[in-house]
Amino acid sequence: MTEAALIDWSRAQFALTACYHWLFVPLTLGLAVIMAVMETVYVVRKDEFWKSAARFWQKIFGINFAVGIATGIILEFEFGTNWSNYSWFVGDIFGAPLAIEGILAFFMEATFVAVMFFGWDKVGRRFHLASTWLTGIGATISALWILVANGWMQHPVGMEFNPDTVRHEMVDFWAVVSNPVAVTKFFHSVLSGWMTGAVFVIGVSCWYLMRGREQRFAKASIRVASVVGIAGTVAVMFTGDRSGIHVAEYQPMKLAAAEGLMEGGTRAPFSLVPGIEIPGMLSILATHDIDGYVPGINDLLDGYTAPDGTAGLSAEAKKERGDLALNAFKVYRENRDTDPEAAAAARKVLEENVEYFGYGYIRDREELVPPVWLVYWPFRLMVGLGCFLLLLMSAVLWLEYRGKIERFRWLHAVALCSIPLVYIAGQCGWIVAEVGRQPWAIQDLLPVSAAVSSLSTGSVITTFCIFVAVFTLFLAIEIRIMIRAIRKGPEAVPAENPSAGPETGRTLTSGQD
């Protein structure tokens, strides 16, 4: 098999693991907030109904949480197995946030999740509530450090290249943590998890309404989830706007591919679909100025000069400077022990061109263009589904508030069928983010062709097939366990509870809210 096949299969394996992992993470983040809000209401009102509601969603959270950990651990190991050159080149930087995630966030989650699940009758209400919130905060902090690492790959900052160790080394930890790309990506991803959890809870609750079951529980869950989901979705739109600014500044080729923009300019149009455009909208989204200049794919390959005098080098010029950096690095390594003057001169040339280091590995300018269709269409699907789901959550919240949610049975079916749609939207977002920056493993510094491990293609194909089977089995088991838990429903509120209402037994079906 060819080197290209090894790269493609290694990328496919990592993408497979990442996509499966992201099936579990957003639901974890969303349910953590929803169940914590419900338990807070229980502690404040001392109403056993809210305790039962919180415990039910905690059960779903736990099922999803366990499987998510398994896929996440495998994903981190793949940096060492499939991308060892990458791990060596930037391990000092990339490994730091992952280490913090493992030591701090994962430890925090593991500690308080045990109290949350097994401490209901063993600790006080307030301590248990704190454990529930801290479990969710731990999951969010875990996402923070992972997204700091990912954001650094999109916009590398806070490091210097050491030609003696052939590694990029961190020189400013806070620059890495406060990287604007990482900060925006963190809020965008976590808040999209709120949206996922909300749509999931609304869909399940509407299933109960369709069946005429657990009506008080279903309507209360819809109310809490809708508020969380609407707040999260509106915030996702805001962070998406900020992300567009960052992409235009740091990854203009990704933006051009996401818009299918071949020739750029001022007042660049935004394409809804091929042939339907909004004049000037892309300039507004990318620069917050209708007269802002947005380069297209051809501009980025051929070089350009914006109206404000900002210039962009051509692919050939970047390649030339990348070759200078690689050659200077080679000369430095050959002479550092025998000819200090030659080594010093080579190091100076390397430092002057190190920002284009990765371009020395590019063979053809066309490698710099990601697959446009695979960025263009997922972006539109993500935005379109996000708008639809915001309308759905707004509609069910309004109808529930007006006491009319039971009448719209067709809306119950729509809400239930929307559960897979929110997952599709999330996956599309990651496709845009990761496919859009190809061919770079680290933007402008290291292409995937230089980051891959020296493995046999056959071994990668074999493990890919094993992962497909194992992850699909995990997913099938999780779905089956969750369906059984949902069919069983929440626990009944004891009849002797004075806040349970006039009915005896399962007051969760009372239809009162």
83, 453 contact by CB (below 8 A)? yes
In tens, the pLDDT along 283-331 reads 999 999 999 999 999 999 999 999 988 899 999 999 999 999 999 999 9
The yes-or-no verdict on residue 509 having pLDDT over 70 is no
DSSP letter at 103? I
Residue that is written with structure tokens 């710099």 in the block: 368
Average pLDDT over residues 460-487: 93
Predicted local distance difference test score (pLDDT) of residue 1: 58
Predicted local distance difference test score (pLDDT) of residue 76: 81
Average pLDDT over residues 362-389: 95
Of the candidates 459, 508, 402, the one whose C-alpha atom is nearest the C-alpha of residue 38 is 508
DSSP letter at 101? I
Q: Residue 375's pLDDT band (boundaries 50, 70, 90)?
A: very high
The yes-or-no verdict on residue 170 having pLDDT over 60 is yes
User: Tokens representing 235?
Assistant: 């915030």
270 phi and psi angles, rounded to 5 deg: -100, 130
Average pLDDT over residues 174-201: 96
Q: What is the mean pLDDT of the chain?
A: 91
Predicted local distance difference test score (pLDDT) of residue 493: 65
The yes-or-no verdict on residue 510 having pLDDT over 70 is no
d(CA 82, CA 14): 8
Average pLDDT over residues 468-477: 92
Q: Which ranges of 82-124 would DSSP assign to H, the alpha helix?
A: 84-100, 106-118
The yes-or-no verdict on residue 496 having pLDDT over 70 is no
Predicted local distance difference test score (pLDDT) of residue 114: 87
- Quote the pTM value: 0.91
Host H or E run for residue 446: strand 446-447
**Cα 15–229–16 angle (5° rounding)?**
10
251 phi and psi angles, rounded to 5 deg: -135, 65
DSSP letter at 348? H
Of the candidates 147, 199, 380, 168, the one whose C-alpha atom is nearest the C-alpha of residue 277 is 380
Those residues whose C-beta lies under 8 Å from the C-beta of residue 121, and which sit 6 or more positions away, are none
172, 152 contact by CB (below 8 A)? no
Task: State the virtual CA torsion across 317, 321, 324, 328 in degrees, nearest 10.
Answer: 180
d(CA 434, CA 428): 10
DSSP letter at 357? G
How, if at all, do strands 311-312 and 276-278 pair? unpaired
Q: Residue 276's pLDDT band (boundaries 50, 70, 90)?
A: very high
Average pLDDT over residues 192-218: 95
Q: Helices 409-417 and 419-435, interaxial angle, to 10°?
A: 30
**Which residue type occupies 405?**
I
Predicted local distance difference test score (pLDDT) of residue 75: 83
Q: Residue 121's pLDDT band (boundaries 50, 70, 90)?
A: confident
Residue that is written with structure tokens 């009915």 in the block: 503
